[in-house]
Amino acid sequence: MSAPANRPLAGILWMLLTGLNFVAVTAIVKHVGDALPAAQSAFLRYALGLVFLLPMIRPILAAHLSRRQLGVFAARGAAHTAGVVLWFYSMTQITIAEVTAMNYLNPVYVTLGAALFLGETLALRRILAVAAALVGALVILRPGFRELSPGHVAMIGTAIFFAVSYLMAKRLSGDFSAPVVVGMLSITVTICLAPFAAAVWVPPTPEQLGWLFLVACFATAGHYTMTLAFAAAPVAVTQPVTFLQLVWATLLGWLVFGEGVDGWVILGGAVILGAVSFISWREAVIRRRAVTPLVHETKV
Average pLDDT of the chain is 85
Residue 288 has pLDDT above 60, yes or no: no
Dihedral angle of Cα 214, 186, 178, 76, to the nearest 10 degrees: 140
Pick the closest to residue 157 from 78, 75, 87, 110 (CA basis). 87
Residue 1 is predicted with a pLDDT of 46
Return the exposure string of 81-109: e unless at least 16 CB atoms fall within 10 Å of the residue's CB, then b. Answer: bbbbbbbbbbbbbbbbbbbbbbbbbbbbb
DSSP category for residue 146: B
Is the pLDDT confidence value at 64 over 80?
yes
What is the arithmetic mean of pLDDT over 213-229? 87
| Range name among 94-98, 155-159, 231-235 with the lowest pLDDT average | 231-235
Whether the per-residue pLDDT at 78 is higher than 90: the answer is: yes
Q: What is the pLDDT of residues 141-157, one digit of tens each?
A: 887 777 788 999 999 99
Lowest-confidence range among 102-106, 136-140, 154-158, 280-284? 280-284
**Of 26-30, 118-122, 208-212, 220-224, the least confident:** 118-122
Above 60 in pLDDT, residue 3? no
Kindly list the distances between the CA atom of residue 30 and the CA atoms of 136, 230, 249, in Å, as whole numbers in the listed order.
24, 28, 11
For Cα atoms 185, 190, 191, give the angle at the middle one, nearest 5 degrees.
100
pLDDT at residue 208 in the model: 95
Residue 236 pLDDT grade (very low, low, confident, very high; cuts 50, 70, 90): low
